[in-house]
Chain A
Amino acid sequence: MKKIVNSVFVLTLGAVIGLGTGIGFAGSSRDYISIVGSSTVYPFATVVAEKFGKTTSFKTPKIESTGSGGGHKLFGSGVGVQYPDITNSSRRIKKSELEKAMENGVTQIVEVKIGYDGIVIANSKQGPSFQLTRKDLFLALAKEVPAGDEPGKLQPNPYKTWKEVNLSLPDVKIEVLGPPPTSGTRDAFVELAMEGGGDEIPWIKALAKTDKKAYQALCQTIREDGAYIEAGENDNLIVQKLSANPAALGIFGFSYLDQNTDKIQGSLVDGVSPTFEAIADGAYPVSRPLYFYVKKAHVQTIPGMMEFLAEFTSEKAWGEEGYLTDKGLIPMPEAERKVFKENVVNLKPLSLGDL
């Protein structure tokens, strides 16, 4: 009996001591790089991290896929080993996020653009091929659309089939599988395709200057009556669902189209087909830049950070023949690459005025 009481006592004591040393951990150093952020940049960051871990003596960075918003929140929480060193983002950091980070002591953030990613609207090869314009996307997916030609009049979206939106489109039900509101891909799609489409209607374009809030509410709110289905962050699942339902369209990044060309076809947007070349030279309208942000304060304390940044910004990674392009990243033009490479070498911090 005494033995059992003693051993239980020792065990709980050990647990408490263990937790206590855990408090001590807050002060100890970390020997691997901690990265959080976008699920779109994740496939590219992980490739660089793996190459970095294999070719150098540093530990492989740990990369979490938290989403761009979640990543900025964790990143901007403070400076210290318990906070992440780098955050990936499929959209530029917002002014409010930068302000919050500065309030928490994260004053020196280096912004690095890594390349472009195209957002494709694809459907199964068994279904009809779509030639969409951004205006079609806006009219088909917005929660409220213009009622008639009179400026200012809106109605809840009445369109049920693509033919109702544009006579040249196939006569199939509007069914789009897309990312949820937490996703950076959704933010980018809404900004590029929906706002771009809304701008093609003159009074909506004018609204942007007179009442920005109303303009954003009009263009960025997606319909909730079942035509737009939030299919989660798992893009492989969306591809599978598209094979099962030939009339449905899916919204996801270019790399998934690239890997599944035998099953799905990308729709043309504004007459441009979603190919590597079209996205690279800017002809394809729905493409957005991808970024990552680095804490300058951590560069000294975490081993390997400068070398990791050097690997990510090397020509063999992000160049036109680099290994990231094999994974579906669209590289930046050479001049842009030079600019960002210099920013990294000099660790040039971002200021509020740049946003």
Chain B
Amino acid sequence: MNRSENMASAAQGRQIRTMDIVNRGLAGRYRAERRFKRFGLSAIILSLVFLAVLFISIFANGYTAFQQTFVQLDVFLDPLKIDKEDLGAANYQGLVQGSLAKTFPDVKNRADKRKLYGMVSSGASFDLRRFVQKNRHEIGNTIRIWVPADDDVDMLVKGHILRDVPEVERRMDDTQIAWVDHFQHQSRIKKEFNMTFFTGGDSREPELAGIWGAVWGSFYTLLVTLCLSFPIGVATAIYLEEFAPTNRWTDVVEVNINNLAAVPSIVFGLLGLAVFLNFFGLPRSAPLVGGLVLTLMTLPTIIIAGRASLKSVPPSIREAALGIGASRTQMVVHHVLPLAMPGMLTGTIIGMAQALGETAPLLMIGMVAFIVDIPGGFTDPATVLPVQIFLWADSPERAFLEKTSAAIMVLLLFLVIMNGLAVVLRKKFERRW
């Protein structure tokens, strides 16, 4: 072979060798790529599994709370015991107890009588009073009324108290279970949708406890937060992005805002206690103060989101506006701000969703308290939904376990709705330049 042929075949040989090397490594490369994909997929699946476990366990614990057991009683409205002029003052508790005593006449012992009277909720007397006040003509007759059952009976009917364990290990003894069975045989026990959970305020009796007070407290608090943090946050973002000169002072402000976003939320509570309660003298446990504290907490989120959305508006829009004669302020407000608004709204909704779930900063300003009355305004004492969950989780009664899980479900629903709204808004109004 001559020299060129040598070179050609040598070159071919080198080419073949390179291809060989590539081919040999190709399988390994594909394997590595598949492994990488599998790691990513399994990470996602793992997190989804944890999420599913969380939701399923909360749902499994809480779905029974949406039903309440009711007991039907025959109550004789003794006209001697009810004064027609003063319906509210009668001893309705006594009437309820009388009805129970008539149903089980062989219960004589004092301790047994207490157990018998404990079968229905203490709210039964109030239900009876409401009935009599609405139906005065029934005084003197025997009426049938459905009253809420005591939380232990409720737990038994729902199956949370097991019947087949020895008596000493049970919350309800055999006689109490026999009474419940007697009522069930007479079809005097039913499970209905638990409206009290949604219309009642906090209570020490689980069967009368509801989240309505906490929902209103959350509403007032978030309203204050929104009204204060949105204008201030948007204005700050606009100033920092459009008008602020690039000097050291602006840098200091920027660094501090970014740091505030990372400060633990309880610090804001301490600030609220020192400044709003002690210095300004605002009322303790009021949604006004809660809203002020949460404003401080969500401002950094809104400012950072606002700045990001302002930055995303292309400079061509600004230059075009300036080019046709708009002033600086007109350019910002009429041209840039409307285009950046969807991003700002998304940031605000996410900030609000975070504020809805906060408990720690409200601890210091007194919103972690037992408050029964539904708040009527911004200065009435109130509590918020996450705090209500925290307080119920600490109660010894077994029935509060399901109520806590149900309240968690309601809170999660609100949060999912808010975050879902943010995603929908973003998808709908986002403009890709």
Residues of A within 8 A of B (CB): 1, 4, 7-8, 11-12, 15, 18-19, 22-26, 30, 32, 34, 39, 42-43, 46-47, 49-50, 53-54, 59-60, 62-65, 82, 125, 233-236, 255-256, 258-262, 321, 323, 326-328
A64 touches B368 (CB 8 A): yes
Q: Which of B25-33, B134-142, B250-258, B393-401 contacts A (4 or more CB under 8 A)?
A: B393-401
Fill in one digit per residue for B369-409: 1 if any A CB lies within 8 Å of its CB, else 0.
11111000001010000000001011111100000000000
Residues of chain B lying within 8 A (CB to CB) of residue A26: 281
- Given contacts A50-B203, A234-B394, whether A262 and B165 have CB atoms under 8 Å apart is yes
Residues of chain A lying within 8 A (CB to CB) of residue B397: 259
Residues of chain A lying within 8 A (CB to CB) of residue B161: 262
Residues of B within 8 A of A (CB): 110, 114, 118, 122, 126, 161-162, 165, 168-171, 203-205, 227-228, 231-232, 235, 276-277, 280-285, 288, 329-330, 333-334, 366, 368-373, 379, 381, 391, 393-398
Residues of chain B lying within 8 A (CB to CB) of residue A15: 228
A25 touches B169 (CB 8 A): no
- Given contacts A22-B276, A43-B396, A259-B396, whether A63 and B369 have CB atoms under 8 Å apart is yes
Chain B nearest CB, measured from A39 CB (Å): 8
Residues of chain B lying within 8 A (CB to CB) of residue A259: 171, 396-398
B161 to chain A: closest residue by CB: A262
A30 touches B204 (CB 8 A): no
Residues of chain A lying within 8 A (CB to CB) of residue B165: 262
Residues of chain A lying within 8 A (CB to CB) of residue B204: 43, 46-47, 50, 327
B381 touches A32 (CB 8 A): yes
CB-contact partner of A262 in B169, B329, B368, B394, under 8 A: B169
CB-contact partner of A46 in B280, B329, B368, B370, under 8 A: B370
Residues of chain B lying within 8 A (CB to CB) of residue A64: 285, 366, 368-370
Q: How far is the CA of A262 from the CA of B155 in the complex (A)?
A: 14
Q: How far is the CA of A37 from the CA of B167 in the complex (A)?
A: 37
Q: How far is the CA of A54 from the CA of B200 in the complex (A)?
A: 13
Chain A nearest CB, measured from B32 CB (Å): 42
Residues of chain B lying within 8 A (CB to CB) of residue A261: 168-171
A19 touches B396 (CB 8 A): no
* 19 cross-chain CB contacts under 8 A: A1-B330, A22-B282, A22-B283, A25-B379, A30-B283, A32-B373, A46-B370, A49-B370, A49-B372, A50-B204, A53-B372, A53-B373, A60-B373, A62-B285, A65-B394, A82-B284, A234-B393, A235-B394, A262-B161
Residues of chain B lying within 8 A (CB to CB) of residue A24: 281
Interchain Cβ contacts within 8 Å, total number: 110
A261 to chain B: closest residue by CB: B169
Residues of chain A lying within 8 A (CB to CB) of residue B329: 1
Chain A nearest CB, measured from B205 CB (Å): 8
Q: How far is the CA of A321 from the CA of B371 in the complex (A)?
A: 27
Residues of chain B lying within 8 A (CB to CB) of residue A65: 368-370, 391, 394
A25 touches B283 (CB 8 A): yes
Q: How far is the CA of A14 from the CA of B207 in the complex (A)?
A: 43
Residues of chain B lying within 8 A (CB to CB) of residue A262: 161-162, 165, 169-171
A125 touches B169 (CB 8 A): yes
Q: How far is the CA of A12 from the CA of B366 in the complex (A)?
A: 26
Residues of chain B lying within 8 A (CB to CB) of residue A60: 371-373
Chain A nearest CB, measured from B287 CB (Å): 13
Q: How far is the CA of A49 from the CA of B201 in the complex (A)?
A: 13
Residues of chain A lying within 8 A (CB to CB) of residue B283: 22, 25, 30, 82
Residues of chain B lying within 8 A (CB to CB) of residue A236: 393-396
Residues of chain B lying within 8 A (CB to CB) of residue A46: 204, 370
CB-contact partner of A50 in B162, B333, B372, B396, under 8 A: B372
Q: How far is the CA of A270 from the CA of B332 in the complex (A)?
A: 79
A84 to chain B: closest residue by CB: B284
Residues of chain A lying within 8 A (CB to CB) of residue B169: 125, 261-262
Chain A nearest CB, measured from B407 CB (Å): 15
Q: How far is the CA of A4 from the CA of B280 in the complex (A)?
A: 29
Residues of chain B lying within 8 A (CB to CB) of residue A47: 204
Nearest first, the 3 A-B pairs at minimum CB distance are: A26-B281, A60-B372, A22-B282
Chain B nearest CB, measured from A123 CB (Å): 14
Q: How far is the CA of A236 from the CA of B396 in the complex (A)?
A: 6
A81 to chain B: closest residue by CB: B283
Residues of chain B lying within 8 A (CB to CB) of residue A321: 110, 114
Q: A30-B283, A50-B203 are in contact. List 4 more A-B contacts (CB 8 A).
A: A49-B370, A50-B372, A236-B394, A261-B168
Q: How far is the CA of A172 from the CA of B162 in the complex (A)?
A: 30
Chain A nearest CB, measured from B301 CB (Å): 19
A22 touches B280 (CB 8 A): yes
B332 to chain A: closest residue by CB: A1
Residues of chain B lying within 8 A (CB to CB) of residue A260: 396, 398
Q: How far is the CA of A18 from the CA of B169 in the complex (A)?
A: 57
CB-contact partner of A25 in B122, B171, B281, B381, under 8 A: B281
Chain A nearest CB, measured from B390 CB (Å): 9
Residues of chain B lying within 8 A (CB to CB) of residue A23: 280-281
B238 to chain A: closest residue by CB: A4
Residues of chain A lying within 8 A (CB to CB) of residue B393: 234, 236
- Given contacts A255-B396, A259-B397, whether A82 and B281 have CB atoms under 8 Å apart is yes
Residues of chain A lying within 8 A (CB to CB) of residue B368: 64-65
Q: How far is the CA of A256 from the CA of B235 in the complex (A)?
A: 52
B370 touches A235 (CB 8 A): no
Chain B nearest CB, measured from A335 CB (Å): 22
Chain A nearest CB, measured from B55 CB (Å): 20
Residues of chain A lying within 8 A (CB to CB) of residue B276: 22
B114 to chain A: closest residue by CB: A321
Q: How far is the CA of A326 from the CA of B391 in the complex (A)?
A: 20
A255 to chain B: closest residue by CB: B396
B373 to chain A: closest residue by CB: A60
Q: How far is the CA of A291 from the CA of B279 in the complex (A)?
A: 31
B373 touches A63 (CB 8 A): no
Q: How far is the CA of A327 from the CA of B203 in the complex (A)?
A: 14
